[in-house]
Amino acid sequence: MAYIKRMIIVALLMLTQATLLKAEDGQALWLRGNSNIKVTVSGPGHSPVVDLAIAELKRGWHGKPDMVLNLRISDNPAIKGDGFQLEESAISARTELGLLYGAYELLRSQYLGSPARRFVSNPSYSRRILNHWDNLDGSIERGYAGRSIFWGEKENGLSITEQDKEKWTAYARANASIGINGSVLNNVNASAKILSKPYLEKVRAIAERLRPYGIKTYLSVNFSSPVLIGKLKKADPLDPQVQQWWKDKVKEIYALIPDFGGFLVKANSEGQPGPQDYGRTHVDGANMMADALEPFGGIVMWRAFVYNPSPEDRTKQAYKEFLPLDGAFRKNVILQVKNGPLDFQPREPFSPLFGGMTKTPVMPEFQITQEYLGGSKQLVFLSTLWEECLNNDTFKNGKGSTVAACTDGSLSKTDFTAIAGVANIGNDVNWTGHTFAQANWYAFGRLAWNNKLESKVIAAEWIKQTFLDSKEKKTDAKFAKTVQGIMMESREAAVDYMMPLGLHHIFAEGHHYGPAPWFSNDKIRADWTSVYYHKADEQGIGFDRTRNGSDAVDQYHEPLSSKLNSLSTCPEIYLLWFHHVPWSYRLKSGNDLWTELCLRYDRGVNKVRSFQKDWDRMDGAIDKERFQEVQSKLRTQSRDAQIWKDACLLYFQQFSKREIPFDIERPVHDLQSLKELTKSRDYN
């Protein structure tokens, strides 16, 4: 107990320091709201969590001076889980964590200048989890903000410094402030070593820092762990020895980390081992782990991101593989499904698994780190992408069966619900590389708490907390509005300059930053090339997934499947995802497909230029440091948008054999030089 108290003191010290020194280097994230306004807070006795809530309220109070605020545990049936109720002078919650979340919400509303009002807020998902694709050597797969904050370079990643611990506390606090309550600490392409004693000891140390903030620790596990670090000859999930190995391992984990959350598993996907290696199913594998975890309250998040080198359309494979298994999983297993059926593209239709699984709970996996959306070089606010996904209607139980409803327990009750976001966090001073990438971390947390929140609201919240003072300066309203405009248009701009009209996965091999629609390679599987996806030829462009083609449309419920199937009713934003469309096809704009494609690419480039203009006009409205950082990155984004436009138009023009409309700006690169550039340049 003394130990925990010491932890709390260090944590409180931390949160005071964080915003005092070098305040505007981005390190403080959206938590810049230190205040001198006095408040008296009474809590329901003392506990690490309650004490944290009180400390936060005192530190960031922007309400009436000298108020008395009461924190109380309540059995109000309107409050669910770790939800809370805010009142004029009280926060009520069923749990201590609820009080902490209520405290953050109250402080936020004060800072944002929203008048305090009585309302209840309950989380949409019970588990709101960050997935860190951090390798044990400190590198981060698809990370663009430095190295891992968990796994250092020294002592095989096992060293722990005071700075590390402070970082973990600051990380936990930031997450708690937006409602995140779980962290998977290592890459889904998991090293088996993570389950070995020394690494589990380190996990314990991390978990101790996360615990006061209500963050549960999870681990990605390698299915072959019993072979790789145990002494077993195989990892067959039906083998009693294997089952026992996992039971023993889980027991060992819980002895170290009593509130351990569970396992995240990528099995039989992209070369990872899995139950199919032994002729077993995903069910066999997941259930074995679930059985081991169940006694301790742990869960298994089994990833549905599976596809094999087969003639079948890659986007159909996960659905085909998992649908027959529906209902066969243990109750503490949940299927973790990427928002789209492919892989975190700038725009995808939602995954049919959301509407497909009826008995097995499904959790959305969003990608916060911008693997396909510009790394930490480009300003792309992803909240609109996630909002779009959550609001998509699956028609699972008729109209209104949104992806949100399919996953948050509204449509059918499940023991628990969950949502995951692949983190964009590294040891860069500002955590995320691009200042605006902080907004994606923030938005994920906010949407995980409330999946009906509008992106424009999230953006406004984030802008004010991140850049502006509680008390508004003259220029603040203009800044807030301008930047909100940029953020709200940013993802659509990226779609335009990268992959408009339903194009997908025409990225350069490997780095997934720049364009390579030409990418084709006989030596690798077709579905790892670009030409597999766009299928451009002299007739037209696009992947025929209609009933005449791969019939992916029929993985969706009616009336959506027929709507997608028909060229005339398919939404144009998904046009080339579902149809191979003739170059001469007239779109709703009246333009033929080729012309429209050109105009979209051009629009995307010009959009980024308009972001530059908007941003530059804000010179002086905020601190120089972040202003210039963003200005510089927008310049890069502008150049790189032009590279995208030129590469795609010049490449596709070889098939369309049509002129780029003469009234738009001409390419400024040659195709050949772009092929070299995207290969050679440091693009990731």
How do beta strands 90-93 and 84-87 pair?
Answer: antiparallel
> Which residue of the set 270, 558, 616, 670 is catalytic?
270
Residues 611-630: x where in contact with a copy of itself by CB under 8 A, - otherwise, as a string: -xx--xx-x-----------
Smallest gap from residue 667 Cβ to a copy of itself (A): 6
Smallest gap from residue 632 Cβ to a copy of itself (A): 5
Work out whether 635 is an interface residue with a copy of itself (CB under 8 A): yes
Smallest gap from residue 668 Cβ to a copy of itself (A): 4
Work out whether 475 is an interface residue with a copy of itself (CB under 8 A): no
- The residue among 5 and 613 lying less far from a copy of itself, judged by its C-beta, is 613
Work out whether 201 is an interface residue with a copy of itself (CB under 8 A): no
The answer to whether the CB of 361 falls within 8 A of the CB of 335 is: yes
* Beta bridge mates, 540: 582
Smallest gap from residue 127 Cβ to a copy of itself (A): 42
Work out whether 659 is an interface residue with a copy of itself (CB under 8 A): yes
> Does the annotation mark 294 as catalytic?
no
Could you give the C-alpha distances from 252 to 72, 158, 552, 675, in angstroms and in order? 36, 18, 44, 52
The answer to whether the CB of 45 falls within 8 A of the CB of 4 is: no
- The residue among 502 and 515 lying less far from a copy of itself, judged by its C-beta, is 515
> Does the annotation mark 166 as catalytic?
no
Characterise 601 by phi-psi region: left (phi > 0), alpha (psi -120 to 50), beta (else). Answer: alpha
The separation between the first and the last C-alpha atoms of the chain, rounded to the nearest angstrom, is: 46
Smallest gap from residue 591 Cβ to a copy of itself (A): 18
How do beta strands 362-367 and 418-422 pair?
Answer: parallel
Exactly one of 13, 255, 477, 668 binds a copy of itself (CB under 8 A); that residue is 668
Distance CA 458, CA 447 (A): 8
Binding range to a copy of itself, per CB under 8 A, among 41-49, 483-491, 593-601, 668-676: 668-676
Exactly one of 167, 320, 547, 669 binds a copy of itself (CB under 8 A); that residue is 669
Q: Among all chains, which residue has been given the structure tokens 């199919």?
A: 276
- The residue among 36 and 672 lying less far from a copy of itself, judged by its C-beta, is 672
What is the SS3 assignment for 36?
Answer: coil
Smallest gap from residue 673 Cβ to a copy of itself (A): 9
Distance CA 115, CA 100 (A): 20
Task: Dihedral sign for Cα 487, 488, 494, 496, please.
Answer: negative
Exactly one of 638, 653, 656, 678 binds a copy of itself (CB under 8 A); that residue is 638
Work out whether 676 is an interface residue with a copy of itself (CB under 8 A): no
- The residue among 68 and 668 lying less far from a copy of itself, judged by its C-beta, is 668
Assigned token pair, 420 = 């995951």
Smallest gap from residue 641 Cβ to a copy of itself (A): 9
Exactly one of 667, 675, 678, 683 binds a copy of itself (CB under 8 A); that residue is 667
Q: Where in 2-55 does DSSP place strands (E)?
A: 39-42
Distance CA 491, CA 484 (A): 12
> Which residue of the set 343, 348, 393, 640 is catalytic?
343
Distance CA 628, CA 556 (A): 46
Smallest gap from residue 633 Cβ to a copy of itself (A): 10
Smallest gap from residue 612 Cβ to a copy of itself (A): 4
Could you give the C-alpha distances from 643 to 517, 604, 610, 638, in angstroms and in order? 12, 11, 17, 9
> Does the annotation mark 153 as catalytic?
no
- The residue among 473 and 635 lying less far from a copy of itself, judged by its C-beta, is 635
**Cβ partners under 8 Å of residue 125, min gap 6:** 363, 407, 408, 417, 418, 419, 448, 449, 451
The answer to whether the CB of 113 falls within 8 A of the CB of 470 is: yes
Exactly one of 15, 185, 325, 660 binds a copy of itself (CB under 8 A); that residue is 660
Exactly one of 75, 522, 663, 682 binds a copy of itself (CB under 8 A); that residue is 663
- The residue among 520 and 636 lying less far from a copy of itself, judged by its C-beta, is 636
- The residue among 270 and 619 lying less far from a copy of itself, judged by its C-beta, is 619
Task: Dihedral sign for Cα 631, 636, 639, 642, please.
Answer: negative
Distance CA 663, CA 670 (A): 19
Binding range to a copy of itself, per CB under 8 A, among 85-93, 149-157, 284-292, 667-675: 667-675
Exactly one of 38, 359, 478, 639 binds a copy of itself (CB under 8 A); that residue is 639
The binding site for a copy of itself (CB under 8 A) comprises: 609, 612-613, 616-617, 619, 632, 634-636, 638-639, 642, 659-660, 662-663, 665-670
Annotated catalytic residues are: 270, 343, 371
